[in-house]
Amino acid sequence: MMSSSNQAPSGERMVQCVKLGRELPGLAEPPWPGELGQRIYEHVSARAWKMWEDRMRMILNEYHLMPWQKEAQDMMAKAMEDFFFAENAAPPPGYTPQGQ
C-alpha cells in the first residue's frame, strides 16, 4: 500500500529520482522484472525512464539486438543498471534538463 506522503496533489506517485536528482512523478508499475525493476520503480522518475527508453532504442539498433533474446535482455539489464545507478549516472552539478 502506498503512503499518501509519496503522492502529489494530482494523485501521481512521487519519487526522489536518482537520475535527475529531484522529486518527480514516478512510474505506474515496475518497468522490468525482478529486483532491478523494483529498484527502478522506487528510485527513477517517469521522465528519467523516458530518457532510458531513448537510450535503449539506440543500443538495440546499434547492436542489432532482438529484445526477446536472452542475450539482449541481459545486455539491457546491465546497461539499465549503469544508466540509473552507476556512480557516474547522476547528471553533473547544475544540470538542467531541456524544457525546464
Q: What is the pLDDT of residues 52-92, one digit of tens each?
A: 999 999 999 998 999 899 999 999 999 999 999 997 765 54
pTM over 0.75: yes
**CA–CA gap between residue 100 and residue 81 (Å, rounded):** 26
What's the chain's average pLDDT?
A: 85
C-alpha cell at 40: 527502478
Q: What is the predicted pLDDT for the residue at 88?
A: 72
- Whether the Cβ atoms of residue 46 and residue 58 lie closer than 8 Å to each other: no
Q: What is the predicted pLDDT for the residue at 1?
A: 41
Matching CATH number, 9-85, of 3.40.50.1000, 1.10.3080.10, 1.10.3880.10, 1.10.3720.10:
1.10.3880.10
**CA–CA gap between residue 63 and residue 87 (Å, rounded):** 25
The type of residue at 12 is E
pLDDT greater at residue 36 or residue 6: 36
> Which residues are CB-neighbours of 63 under 8 A, at least 6 positions away?
72, 75
Q: What is the predicted pLDDT for the residue at 82?
A: 95
**CA–CA gap between residue 34 and residue 40 (Å, rounded):** 10
Q: What is the predicted pLDDT for the residue at 100?
A: 44
Average pLDDT score over residue span 29-47: 96
